Structure 1
Amino acid sequence: MEVMEKRRSEIVSFVNEQGSITFAQLKNKFPSVSEMTLRTDLKVLDQNQQLIRIHGGAKSLNQVAGNDDFFKKRVVSNTDAKKMIAKKAIPFVEENKTIFIDSGSTTTMLAHHLKDQPNIFFTSGLTCAIEMSKLKWAKVSLPGGNMNLRSLSLNGIEGVRFLEKINFDIAFIGVTRYDDKTGFTCESLEDAVLKRTVIQRAEKVIVLMDSSKIDKKGTYTICTLDEVDAVVSDDMLPEVFKEKCKNLGIAVY
């Protein structure tokens, strides 16, 4: 069972890295695995919404639906990396602080791992709010606004005006892509505006991002690298990116 799960996880990573693959490429990647087994793997992964099976191969969910694809599809992508990121981020959540946790699958994973302690939490993510509502001592607030049905986040002028009045001790920001030229990006203008508002109101800004999002250009810039204080990721960040962070005095975890 462990061998099968490991292989299927590797298949998802391979498809995400390539964007799309042919079955021949998959067979070359796993030469010791039978064609029938690989076809079964693709079928199961498609049913689990971890990739899209197409005639003659498979496509990444990002390739099919864009980087701000449906939340239920993103939440099953790179789950091990997201769990790692969440556990690394937990020590930054101190008692009696005002904290913003952004919308997104990685930030929701952080919300799931939060300990019950006195905090004031603000979030634009509905799924984050649901996770944090399980805490007995924390106060959790959602801004008003419009719902982004892809990311299950709230955005719009009402939310921005609400957040403009708050001083955050720390903000955990989710992003969809990073490139040196575009900075941290997402695929919704309204989400980008809300995220920028929070960043401007936060004493400390921490980006939660798995390494698969590096060196990919997005549509709407959230902020540049020098506008954040730390990046929490998995252990696969490119050395070039980590060196840039070091030169800017940005901590990498």
Structure 2
Amino acid sequence: MHDHSIAELPSLRRQKILLLLERDGKVMASELSQHFAVSEDTIRRDLAELDSAGLVQRVHGGALPRPKDSGKDYFTRLDETDEIKVRLAQLAAQHIEDGQIVLFDSGSTTLQVARALPADIRITAVTASPLTAIALSEYKGVKVILAGGQLNPHSMSASGQEALRLLAGIKADVAITGVCAIHPEVGITSLHFDEVPIKQAMLDSATQVIAVTTADKLGAVEPFVVAPCTRLHRLITERHPGSGNIEDYQRLGIVVEQLPD
């Protein structure tokens, strides 16, 4: 069965290739050519693009998954939090105002946003991340609502129907989210399938969505789609992105805010 709809857009075809690679552990150019009804030269160009983006490892006749730093456990990633993430978090914290209901996604960058709030802030904070909830509990004026459920060891946040039901019942003013990857055509994507529903529920429950990300996530693609970029209202990132093009996101109506030099 040929996937003609995917074949029309190279970016979506490459997204599908990543999904097949995640499922099968290896992809062959000859089989992909038949699957998508395109030439092997076209597939080889796809694999070359994915290889240059660091998403696959090309081998003779096809490609293998590339080992990822994101395989590190949550606490290792937390220890590696750098100055850039702290500065990005400080920018994001400026958009949170007294009286708001604010959703905090999981992740080390979002945790930094929680730590960067003004000491006298008065908000209701909702999160599925116990570590973020603990950070928020340090503020006297912050009411913390922690979504429960099974703990995901990768993200150190709750997942499952209990967390989803709580998030669906909240209409928040702002959602602060980190992203595994964001591409202007493919959208916001995640490396882990079980994180997708919680992230989608947060986007659905917020009037304004603010994504905070380092430059290496721009233009990147992971296997599982969370939402199109148009679900974002503001993107906070570095001044000089290493990949991607800021104008691509601005054309989608997203306000892009960059760190000052």
Could you state the TM-score of these two structures normalised by the residue count of structure 2?
A: 0.69
After superposition, where does 1:1-253 map in structure 2 within 5 Å?
64=67, 67=70, 69-77=72-80, 79-115=82-118, 116-237=120-241, 241-253=245-257
Gaps of 5+ in 2: 1-65
Whole-Å separation in 2 of the counterparts to 1:239 and 1:176: 14
Whole-Å separation in 2 of the counterparts to 1:249 and 1:181: 13
Give the share of equivalent positions with the same residue, in percent. 25
| Greater CA drift, 99-108 or 173-182 | 173-182
CA distance 1:127–1:251, shift in 2 (3 Å): same
Whole-Å separation in 1 of the counterparts to 2:221 and 2:209: 21
Whole-Å separation in 2 of the counterparts to 1:222 and 1:137: 32
Helix, strand or coil at the partner of 1:92: coil
Helix, strand or coil at the partner of 1:215: coil
Residues 96-135 of structure 1: CA distance to partner in whole angstroms, max 9, x if unpaired? 0000011100001111111232110001112111110100
Whole-Å separation in 1 of the counterparts to 2:185 and 2:70: 18
In structure 1, give the amino acid aligned to 2:112: M
| Greater CA drift, 78-87 or 155-164 | 78-87
Whole-Å separation in 2 of the counterparts to 1:85 and 1:95: 20
Helix, strand or coil at the partner of 1:67: helix
In structure 2, give the amino acid aligned to 1:189: F
Number of the residue aligned with 1:42:
none
In structure 2, give the amino acid aligned to 1:170: V
The answer (yes or no) to whether the contact 1:199–1:205 under 8 Å persists in 2 is yes
CA distance 1:68–1:205, shift in 2 (3 Å): farther
Whole-Å separation in 2 of the counterparts to 1:172 and 1:144: 19
Deviation, structure 1 residue 206: 0.7
Whole-Å separation in 2 of the counterparts to 1:104 and 1:239: 21
Gaps of 5+ in 1: 1-62
Whole-Å separation in 2 of the counterparts to 1:247 and 1:113: 30
Whole-Å separation in 1 of the counterparts to 2:71 and 2:96: 26
Whole-Å separation in 1 of the counterparts to 2:112 and 2:121: 17
| Greater CA drift, 91-100 or 231-240 | 231-240
How large is the RMSD of aligned CA atoms in angstroms? 1.8
Deviation, structure 1 residue 236: 2.5
